[in-house]
Structure 1
Amino acid sequence: MKALGIAATGMNAQQTNVDVIANNIANAQTTGYKAGRAVFQDLIYQSMRREGAATSADGTSTPVGIDIGLGARAAGIVRNNEQGGLVETGNDLDMAIDGRGFFVINRPDGTVAYSRDGNFGLSPEGEIISMDGYPLDPGIVVPENTTEIEISQTGLVTAYVSGEAEPQEIGQLTLATFVNEAGLKAVGQNLFLESGASGEPILAEPGTDGSGLIRQKYVEGSNVDSIKQITDLIKAQRSYEMNSKVMTTADQMLQTANQVR
């Protein structure tokens, strides 16, 4: 009886589904978070009788075959890259990307990462850094005695320094876009890495080559729809319970068969 194994694959698949939903709900307030969705595929089929098999010497054949599927498996986790809502913070260094693109972040190990998290601050040296202390690429250093920082929609960063009438241009933000954003590898800390599926980054100034605009004093909220996640969680729970019921029923049928004399 194949039902036990088939139901087991269904339970494993729904457990993966629940794990993805739980992660979405946990990150409902995470800046720039993109909700994931588990995608499933059916497993291989065991053919008991092929379609079109001969049924007589007169040339008649079956219109359908007997193919028994062997269950389901998780094929991947697809991220929903729809933009989250913009949340005003009032912080001069906070930035949201209105449209496509990622901030380019330099990690301590020398690798480059990409993020939609626009929560930024200053290092002791005045460099603009992420909440984990990672600098932007290219790096931007704010002069001492700066009283105000302005960041234009196109990413030009200027500083008003005490005692100077005119602002100083201190840097230009660069955004990265990808042909397949869903192919980026998530590594935590709101960071993504380039992968073979994402393609190479296309670097451009905000507002050019399909990249979005910068909104200063805002951050992008999570795009998790909590109501939809709860609905999906209930559906996953019911599917898990039904697969469990299949296993119970299959076990009872095997017990009945074993008792036949």
Structure 2
Amino acid sequence: MIRALFTAATGMNAQSTVIDNTSNNLANVNTNGFKKGQADFQDLIYVTEKVPGSDVSQGFQVPTGLQIGSGVKVAGITKIFTQGGLVNTQNPNDVAIEGDGFIQVTLPSGEIRYTRDGALRLNAVGNLVTSDGFLITPQITIPQGAVTTSIGADGTVTITNPGATNASVNLGQITLVRFQNPAGLSAEGRNLFAETVSSGTPITATPGLNGTGLIRQGFLERSNVDVVTELVGLILAQRAYEFNTRAVRTADNMLSATSELIR
């Protein structure tokens, strides 16, 4: 009965983590390029009182054993990098990645980070930056006075100047990177991810090549959170938590009944 108390407590802790993760998913339902997290469970160590297949007499073995589990734990929260929906913003500086690629971002410290958020803006000198002002890599600078800015599906950035609207000027190309295991990236907030040993090294490529995907100008990728699915998961987690509290109460009642025997 004492074991049941601790076993049920592991279930309560695990479901509490699920609710925390679900809350984060729902909170970011309108975050550009957000990727939902999925909790993965593992059962804990078993107390083995009888090994399956152990001998009961010469030539005879028990068909099953006697193993009592110690509960559950959350083994990890996996980021699911499925494609989010694309929304037409009609903003020429907005770009969406239709594929598995990431935009490279350079922090003020010089470190490189990666993002799916294509809400790019111009800073005071015409550089394309994130909403936090971080430069994208390779750096693209839009000169003052440009009439139109065009970003092709392959990342090529061109402009037209006043008086020469029929002649476009090539300013460079936005490249994308992809990872062998994007779920191994470290989420750092601000829609940024950092490379880790688990993610593998970034593979840089022209958009449309090596599985990086294409760039869509004037669109933004929304989060891949399905609100209905998350709410159903929230209800299941709540019920599982309640079931574990009932197991605690049942074990406590049994202990109380046992203590009454000596009174």
TM bucket, shorter chain:
over 0.9
CA deviations on 1:166-205 (whole Å, 9 max, x unpaired) are 2211110110000011111100001101011100000011
The yes-or-no answer on 1:77 pairing with 2:77 is yes
Contact 1:120–1:128 (CA under 8 A) maintained in structure 2 = yes
Matched residue, 2:55? 54
Matched residue, 1:192? 193
Matched residue, 2:64? 64
**Aligned-residue identity in percent:** 44
Alpha-carbon shift at residue 64 of structure 1 (Å): 1.0
CA distance in 2, matches of 1:41, 1:28: 28
CA distance in 2, matches of 1:194, 1:55: 55
Alpha-carbon shift at residue 150 of structure 1 (Å): 0.3
| Farther-moved stretch of structure 1 (59-68 vs 136-145) | 59-68
Matched residue, 1:182? 183
Contact 1:128–1:139 (CA under 8 A) maintained in structure 2 = yes
Matched residue, 1:97? 97
The runs of 4+ residues in structure 1 deviating greater than 4 Å are: none
Matched residue, 1:224? 225
Alpha-carbon shift at residue 163 of structure 1 (Å): 2.9
CA distance in 2, matches of 1:210, 1:48: 52
* Matched position secondary structure for 1:55: strand
The yes-or-no answer on 1:24 pairing with 2:25 is yes
Alpha-carbon shift at residue 59 of structure 1 (Å): 3.7
Structure 2 unaligned regions, length at least 5: none
CA deviations on 1:44-94 (whole Å, 9 max, x unpaired) are 1011111222323x4433111111100000001112211011100011110
> Which letter maps to 2:163?
G
CA distance in 2, matches of 1:51, 1:100: 46
CA distance in 1, matches of 2:23, 2:98: 27
> Which letter maps to 1:84?
G
Structure 2 length-normalised TM: 0.97
* Matched position secondary structure for 1:136: strand
Matched residue, 1:113? 113
> Which letter maps to 1:145?
G
CA deviations on 1:233-255 (whole Å, 9 max, x unpaired) are 00000000000110111011111
* Matched position secondary structure for 1:30: coil
CA distance in 2, matches of 1:212, 1:61: 58
CA distance in 1, matches of 2:30, 2:226: 11
Alpha-carbon shift at residue 221 of structure 1 (Å): 0.9
CA distance in 1, matches of 2:164, 2:91: 22
Q: CA RMSD in A?
A: 1.0
Structure 1 length-normalised TM: 0.97
* Matched position secondary structure for 1:214: strand
* Matched position secondary structure for 1:74: strand
CA distance in 2, matches of 1:161, 1:96: 25
CA distance in 2, matches of 1:84, 1:30: 10
